[in-house]
């Protein structure tokens, strides 16, 4: 059993795909290439600009996007000898988003770059300059967009006149762009929470610097979301900046470069370490920081919430199949004869659960840092992972049913089951429990994870560590309770029946995962999964047959194990991972979109939004027990409530962004919007019909 679990767990980890942000269909930026001259001469340098016309209420990003986002990029495909420079970046705007601070552009922006023709260019030719533009455009959601762009430039025999439309516009951008060399700057760490940036120079003498702000080129030198305080001096100013990751652990960067915006103008500065000169002002008074979009959890509170969420997660429907494996393991230590082994297996289970929580958390943090729109439960958004888990659950169920056994015989079921799996088996039970159970979100868990994913990696891992400890604590504590273990019946023949009965929750888990796979795959993919399941069952039966025959020839045993292993490999790899199929429309709800939500709210209707997923068992239980009931349907009709379903079964960047907006990293999430506007009211993660009806009635009055 141990080797089987270990092998399939490795196959599961190898099946994890790269996750990318899902592009939206709508285009929110119109892009084109424009030139400041009507033509270009051989060997001449002119300026070509990327022009972005950005939809109202949306924005793109500066070279340092701030706490989130991604800078605009341009990849040229130029003829031989032609050369393009880097963007000249205009000064950005501050773009606060909830507790984050981003930097970018709204409306229309020109990003000029130098373009040089080779001396060998022939006068009279027309040259096509092609480029691929990539930019992230965001409002309440973020959409990565791309454009294939081109501009035709005539090659003249000498300098050409300025383009009447774009020549003055590009010249203005170049003139106003931040330039180096006009100001002198130094920086000095003053405390764990303050870095002094002193800036002096003639342009600042007498200038109005009340709204001065420093935009760093390096995203790690300051905490962008916290305020920058100003102290005016006769020769300049000193900004008190909140230090970023680059200053943690006593470290200090070699330089701080960026853009200072002061007095209506922008300047490029490069600060070296040093004390503030006379006339630059001193450290300003501390300013209390209040995060936009609501209060922020502290690390201790978030870790406490995570621990409670982990405890409660054991009661969620997601964990029920895994309880079968836990119960079988505990039963094997009844009668108090093997308390030491019970404690060892309890610790092994806890270690497996905590290590897997940290591993999944690290992968999730890395993917989000890379710009992927993912949240907790991302592993079950991948059809290959769902298929492997389905086959793994089936194999465990067959083992518990006695079709085959690894490490134990069918005779002496009591002692055999007591040793079944051992500490390594308990470790992999903990691993499996987390992989299957973690996609559900328990009370307290959602807000803790949502907070953690906006913090540093260290703080986030502390929260996930607390979550894993909370999840593992009940089983570990029971294993260390001799009184409880002594009350269990002594191992014996009854355990064979007990173990086989507990196989059925595992069959149910395999069936549930097959259903989740069916929501993500087409009919052909589902047929291949069923064929793979038959191969797994056949492999298990062949292994059991070899065990029952108790052959004395080692060669036959080796061949049988190779055949079983090959069947398992074939069963996993024979599935050609299917393309996502279109989600089926549901009668009871409209498909969620930010545009549809805005339209319904503009009509003055109460709106109930259900963020759900097929792989979230808690979501499905809430739907059956609380939402799809006569009382709720009658309340929806009576109060003319619009019901929107945001289905996160497949990856959806818009839904991931909305969950993050409300401080959540997973589903379920239920929002009720009142008739007269205002923010959505968040309902509990565990619903009853009465909770939904009362929320709807309140929404009709508010």
Most confident of 41-45, 382-386, 400-404, 409-413: 41-45
| pLDDT of 245 higher than 90 | no
Q: Which domain holds residue 227?
A: 184-273
Same domain, 158 and 190: no
Average pLDDT for residues 561-578, to the nearest whole number?
A: 60
Least confident of 28-32, 193-197, 272-276: 272-276
Nearest to 50 by CA among 79, 21, 72, 68: 72
414, 420, 423, 426 alpha-carbon torsion, rounded to 10°: -100
Q: What is the pTM of this model?
A: 0.43
Is residue 14 in some structural domain? no
Same domain, 262 and 316: no
Least confident of 57-61, 463-467, 473-477: 473-477
Q: Label residues 457-493 b or e (16+ Cβ within 10 Å = b).
A: eebbbbbbbbbbbbbbbebbeebeeeeebeeeeebee
Average pLDDT for residues 595-620, to the nearest whole number?
A: 86
Contact criterion met (CB below 8 Å) for 658 and 140: yes
Q: Which is higher by pLDDT, 565 or 355?
A: 355
Please give the pLDDT value at position 422: 67
Residue 262, SS3 per DSSP: strand
Q: Which is higher by pLDDT, 355 or 380?
A: 355
Is residue 503 in some structural domain? yes
Question: How much is the mean pLDDT over the chain?
Answer: 77
> Residue 383 class from Cβ within 10 Å (0-12 exposed, 13-18 middle, 19+ buried)?
buried
Q: Would you place residue 586 in the very low, low, confident or very high pLDDT band (cuts 50, 70, 90)?
A: very low
- Residue 160 is part of a domain; what is its CATH number? 2.60.40.1250
Same domain, 141 and 199: no
Is residue 550 in some structural domain? no
- Residue 619 is part of a domain; what is its CATH number? 3.40.30.10
| pLDDT of 484 higher than 90 | no
Please give the pLDDT value at position 346: 80
Long-range contacts of 591-594 (CB under 8 A, 24+ apart): 591/644, 591/645, 591/647, 592/644, 592/645, 592/646, 592/647, 592/655, 593/654, 594/140, 594/141, 594/654, 594/658
- Residue 204 is part of a domain; what is its CATH number? 2.60.40
Least confident of 81-95, 143-157, 289-303: 289-303
Q: Which is higher by pLDDT, 474 or 238?
A: 238
Please give the pLDDT value at position 445: 65
Most confident of 185-189, 513-517, 626-630: 185-189
Same domain, 204 and 334: no
Predicted confidence (pLDDT) per residue in 501-559, tens digit: 777 877 877 887 788 777 766 666 777 788 788 878 877 787 777 777 654 445 555 56
Same domain, 594 and 505: no
Instruction: Give every CB contact of residue 494 below 8 A, 6+ residues apart in sequence.
Output: none
Same domain, 172 and 189: no
| pLDDT of 440 higher than 80 | no
As a whole-number percent, the residues of the chain with pLDDT over 90 amount to 27
Least confident of 180-189, 286-295, 496-505: 286-295
Same domain, 44 and 110: yes
| pLDDT of 289 higher than 60 | no
454, 455, 461, 462 alpha-carbon torsion, rounded to 10°: -120
Q: Which is higher by pLDDT, 492 or 51?
A: 51
| pLDDT of 184 higher than 80 | yes
Q: Please, where are the H alpha helices in 211-319? A: 299-313
Same domain, 238 and 269: yes
Q: Please, where are the H alpha helices in 422-456? A: 422-437, 445-452
**Cα-based angle 58, 92, 131 (whole degrees, multiple of 5):** 70
Longest alpha-carbon distance in the chain:
99
Is residue 11 in some structural domain? no
Q: Return the H-helix or E-strand segment holding 385.
A: helix 383-400
Residue 416, SS3 per DSSP: helix
Predicted confidence (pLDDT) per residue in 384-409, tens digit: 777 877 887 788 788 778 887 754 43
Please give the pLDDT value at position 151: 95
> What single-letter DSSP state applies at residue 575?
S
Average pLDDT for residues 402-420, to the nearest whole number?
A: 45
| pLDDT of 325 higher than 50 | yes
Nearest to 236 by CA among 258, 267, 193, 257: 267
Among the three residues 142, 176, 210, which one is the final residue of a domain in this structure?
A: 176
What is the residue whose two structure tokens read 């294939």? 148
Please give the pLDDT value at position 444: 62
Same domain, 83 and 147: yes
Separation of alpha carbons 400 and 388, rounded Å: 18
Separation of alpha carbons 414 and 382, rounded Å: 39
Please give the pLDDT value at position 587: 35
Where does 444-536 show beta strands of DSSP type E?
none
What is the residue whose two structure tokens read 């891992």? 461
Same domain, 221 and 205: yes
Please give the pLDDT value at position 13: 36
Among the three residues 471, 492, 520, which one is the final residue of a domain in this structure?
A: 520
Same domain, 376 and 504: yes
Separation of alpha carbons 606 and 627, rounded Å: 16
Most confident of 433-442, 459-468, 482-491: 459-468
Is residue 146 in some structural domain? yes
Instruction: Give every CB contact of residue 69 below 8 A, 6+ residues apart in sequence.
Output: 61, 102, 104, 136, 138, 142
Q: Which is higher by pLDDT, 329 or 412?
A: 329
Is residue 16 in some structural domain? no
Q: How many domains does the chain have?
A: 4
Contact criterion met (CB below 8 Å) for 148 and 77: no
Separation of alpha carbons 400 and 89, rounded Å: 64
Please give the pLDDT value at position 537: 83
Same domain, 211 and 334: no
Phi-psi region of 412 (alpha: psi -120 to 50; beta: other; left: phi over 0): left
Please give the pLDDT value at position 374: 55
Please give the pLDDT value at position 653: 79
Residue 154 token pair: 């005539």
Contact criterion met (CB below 8 Å) for 73 and 145: no
Among the three residues 520, 543, 564, which one is the final residue of a domain in this structure?
A: 520
Alpha-carbon Rg for the chain in angstroms: 31
């Amino acid at each position: 059993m141990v080797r089987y679990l270990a092998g399939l767990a490795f196959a599961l980890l190898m099946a994890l795909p790269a996750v990318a942000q899902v592009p939206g269909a709508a285009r929110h930026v119109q892009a084109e290439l424009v030139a400041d001259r009507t033509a270009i001469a051989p060997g001449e340098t002119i300026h070509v600009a990327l022009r972005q016309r950005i939809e109202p209420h949306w924005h793109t990003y500066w070279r340092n996007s701030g706490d989130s986002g991604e800078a605009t990029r341009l990849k040229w495909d130029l003829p031989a000898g032609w050369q393009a420079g880097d963007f000249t970046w205009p000064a950005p705007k501050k773009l606060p988003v909830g507790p984050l601070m981003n930097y970018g552009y709204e409306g229309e922006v020109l990003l000029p770059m130098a373009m040089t023709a080779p001396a060998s260019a022939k006068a009279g030719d027309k040259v096509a300059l092609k480029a691929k533009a990539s930019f992230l455009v965001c409002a309440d959601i973020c959409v990565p967009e791309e454009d294939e762009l081109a501009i035709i430039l005539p090659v003249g025999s000498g300098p050409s006149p300025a383009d009447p439309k774009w020549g003055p516009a590009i010249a203005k951008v170049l003139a106003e762009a931040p330039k180096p060399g006009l100001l002198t700057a130094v920086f000095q760490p003053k405390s764990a929470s303050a870095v002094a940036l002193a800036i002096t120079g003639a342009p600042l003498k007498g200038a109005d610097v009340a709204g001065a702000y420093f935009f760093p080129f390096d995203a790690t030198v300051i905490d962008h979301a916290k305020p920058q305080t100003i102290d005016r001096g006769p020769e300049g100013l000193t900004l008190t900046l909140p230090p970023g990751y680059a200053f943690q652990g006593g470290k200090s960067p070699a330089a701080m470069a960026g853009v200072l915006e002061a007095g209506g103008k922008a300047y490029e500065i490069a600060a070296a370490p040093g004390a503030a000169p006379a006339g630059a002002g001193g450290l300003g008074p501390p300013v209390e920081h209040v995060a936009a979009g609501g209060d922020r959890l502290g690390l201790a509170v978030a870790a406490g919430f995570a621990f409670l969420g982990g405890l409660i997660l054991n009661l969620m429907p997601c964990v029920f199949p895994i309880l079968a494996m836990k119960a079988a393991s505990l039963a094997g230590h009844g009668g108090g004869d093997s308390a030491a082994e019970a404690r060892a297996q309890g610790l092994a289970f806890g270690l497996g659960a905590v290590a897997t929580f940290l591993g999944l958390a690290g992968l999730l943090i890395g993917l989000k840092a890379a710009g992927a729109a993912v949240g907790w439960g991302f592993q079950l958004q991948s059809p290959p992972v769902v298929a492997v888990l389905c086959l793994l659950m089936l194999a465990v169920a067959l083992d518990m049913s006695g079709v085959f056994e690894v490490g134990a015989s069918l005779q002496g079921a009591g002692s055999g089951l007591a040793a079944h799996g051992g500490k390594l088996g308990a470790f992999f039970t903990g691993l499996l429990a987390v992989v299957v159970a973690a996609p559900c979100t328990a009370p307290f868990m959602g807000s803790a994870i949502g907070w953690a994913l906006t913090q540093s990696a260290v703080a986030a891992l502390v929260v996930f560590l607390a979550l894993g400890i909370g999840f593992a604590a009940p089983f570990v504590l029971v294993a260390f309770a001799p009184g409880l273990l002594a009350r269990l019946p002594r191992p014996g023949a009854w355990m064979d029946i007990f173990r086989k009965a507990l196989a059925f929750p595992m069959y149910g888990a395999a069936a549930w995962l097959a259903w989740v796979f069916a929501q993500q795959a087409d009919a052909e993919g589902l047929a291949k999964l069923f064929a793979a399941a038959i191969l797994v069952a056949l492999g298990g039966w062949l292994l059991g047959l070899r065990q029952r025959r108790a052959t004395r020839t080692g060669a036959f045993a080796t061949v049988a194990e190779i055949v079983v292993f090959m069947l398992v490999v074939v069963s996993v790899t024979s599935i050609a991972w299917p393309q996502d199929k279109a989600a089926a429309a549901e009668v009871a709800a409209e498909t969620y979109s930010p545009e549809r939500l805005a339209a319904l709210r503009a009509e003055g209707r109460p709106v109930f939004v259900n963020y759900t997923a097929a792989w979230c068992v808690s979501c499905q239980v809430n739907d059956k027990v609380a939402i799809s009931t006569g009382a709720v349907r009658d309340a929806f009709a009576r109060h003319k409530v619009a019901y929107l379903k945001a289905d996160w079964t497949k990856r959806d960047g818009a839904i991931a962004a909305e969950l993050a907006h409300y401080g959540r990293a997973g589903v379920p999430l239920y929002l009720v919007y009142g008739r007269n506007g205002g923010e959505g009211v968040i309902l509990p993660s565990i619903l009853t019909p009465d909770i939904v009806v009362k929320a709807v009635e309140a929404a009709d009055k508010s």
